[in-house]
Structure 1
Amino acid sequence: MLIVFQWLNNQLLKMQWLYDLVKVFVENVFKLDINTRIGGSIHFFIYDVIKIFILLSVLIFAVSYIQSFFPPERTKKILGNYKGITANILGALLGTVTPFCSCSSIPLFIGFTSAGLPIGVTFSFLISSPLVDLASVILLASIFNWKTSIAYVVVGIILAVVAGTIISKLGLEKYVESFVYDTKVAEVDEQELTTRERINFAKDQVLDIIKRVWLYIIIGVGIGAGIHNWIPQNMIEAVLGQDKWYSVLLATIVGIPMYADIFGTLPIAQALVTKGVGIGTALAFMMSVTALSLPSMIMLKRVVKPKLLGIFIGIVTVGILLIGYLFNAFGYLFI
Structure 2
Amino acid sequence: MIFVTGGAGFIGANFVLDWLKGSDEPVLNVDKLTYAGNLGTLKSLKDDARHVFARADICDRAAIDALLDRHKPRAILHFAAESHVDRSIHGPADFVQTNVVGTFTLLEAARTHWSKLPEDEKQAFRFLHVSTDEVYGSLSATDPQFSETTPYAPNSPYSATKAGSDHLVRAYHHTYGLPVLTTNCSNNYGPYQFPEKLIPLMIANALGGKPLPIYGDGQNVRDWLYVGDHCAAIRQVLARGVPGETYNVGGWNERKNLEVVHTLCDLLDQAKPKSSGSYRNQVTYVKDRPGHDRRYAIDARKLERELSWKPAETFETGLAKTVQWYLDNQAWADEVASGDYRKWVGTNYAQRA
What's the TM-score bracket when you normalise by the shorter of the two chains? under 0.3
Which structure has the higher relative contact order (CA within 8 Å, separation 6+)?
1
TM-score by length of 2: 0.24
TM-score by length of 1: 0.25
Q: Greater strand percent: which structure?
A: 2
Q: Greater helix percent: which structure?
A: 1
